[in-house]
Amino acid sequence: MTDAPPAIVDSHCHLDFPDFDGQQGEIIARARAAGVTRMVTICTKMPNVPKVQALAEAHDGLFYAVGLHPMSVADQPPVTLDELLGYAAHPKMVGIGETGLDYHYTADSKDAQQVSLRLHIEAARRTRLPLIIHARDADEDMARILTEEYRNGDYSCVMHCFSSGPDLARAALDLGFYLSMSGIAAFPRSQELRDIFAAAPLERILVETDSPYLAPPPYRGKRNEPAYVAKTAAVGAQVYGIDYADFARATTENFDRLFWKAAA
């Protein structure tokens, strides 16, 4: 009989995506075998809320968050503050987002993205649930808006799948926010990103898959799934020069502190 792997959390995945249809049970079983005790599946469009909620209700240790992804702001109906506050009443709805700014593919909707982001921040402020931020090619505006809004009233936040520059990392950390490490941090050419994580306090680090995307080695290029968060965490442990079990314990404690509704 082998020892069970250390408990760890996948703080961000997308189990409602078509990549996983009909397979969620076996995917969650594989995650548990890898030590993943809890997962947060993220809703990115309002019409998908019922499916995401049903998945969370059907599986122990599976929680969910609700938000309108910045890349969908232009082609989806806008979410309202009242809608987000209403969704937040569910016991397994544990975060606001993902929201944010993405100027890589969708810069033409940047103004609408900023309005949507500020609305999600207000929902996080009112519910005390953590804001889940997606940021790509928008570091300056992201740092500015997060800081401006924090002055209007505090809120908690995680920079999901953090792969931006050191200035945005520092701005987020200065506000007391968290950085989440995805498979990108495990890619061989991501040394600059690993250096940013190494400079951040361990007590502000989460780990995630963002599955089905961004599988870490040795699965790169294949469909990602929550079990593989252990591979990214192994790299995280190397970044901080600690044992895997200690890194798993620290990031799990961080998750419990931030995602208080999903705390063990």
Question: How many whole angstroms separate alpha carbon 84 and alpha carbon 120?
Answer: 8
Instruction: Determine whether the annotation assigns residue 104 to a binding site.
Output: no
Sign of the Cα pseudo-torsion (200, 44, 113, 131, in order): negative
Q: Does 160 appear as a known binding residue? A: yes
Alpha helix positions (H), 34-158: 49-58, 81-87, 110-127, 139-151
Coil, strand, or helix at residue 14? coil
Sheet of 131-136, strand order? 8-13, 36-43, 62-66, 93-102, 131-136, 157-159, 178-181, 205-207
Find out whether 59 is annotated in a ligand binding site.
no
Cα distance between residue 28 and residue 56, in whole Å = 11
| Token pair belonging to 49 | 């809320």
State the maximum Cα–Cα separation within the chain, in Å, rounded to a whole number.
57
**Phi (first) and psi of residue 179, to 5 degrees:** -110, 135
Q: Establish how many alpha carbons lie within 13 A of residue 44's alpha carbon, considering only the half-sphere containing its beta carbon.
A: 16
Residue 210, annotated as binding a ligand: yes
Contacting residues for 223 by C-beta, under 8 A, at least 6 apart? 19, 211, 212, 215
Assess whether the previous peptide bond of 50 is cis (omega < 30° from 0): no
Residue 253: which region, alpha, beta or left (left: phi > 0; alpha: psi -120 to 50)?
alpha
- DSSP classification of residue 175: T
Q: Is 134 annotated as belonging to a binding site?
A: yes
Binding site listing for a divalent metal cation: 12, 14, 98, 134, 160, 210
Binding site listing: 12, 14, 98, 134, 160, 210
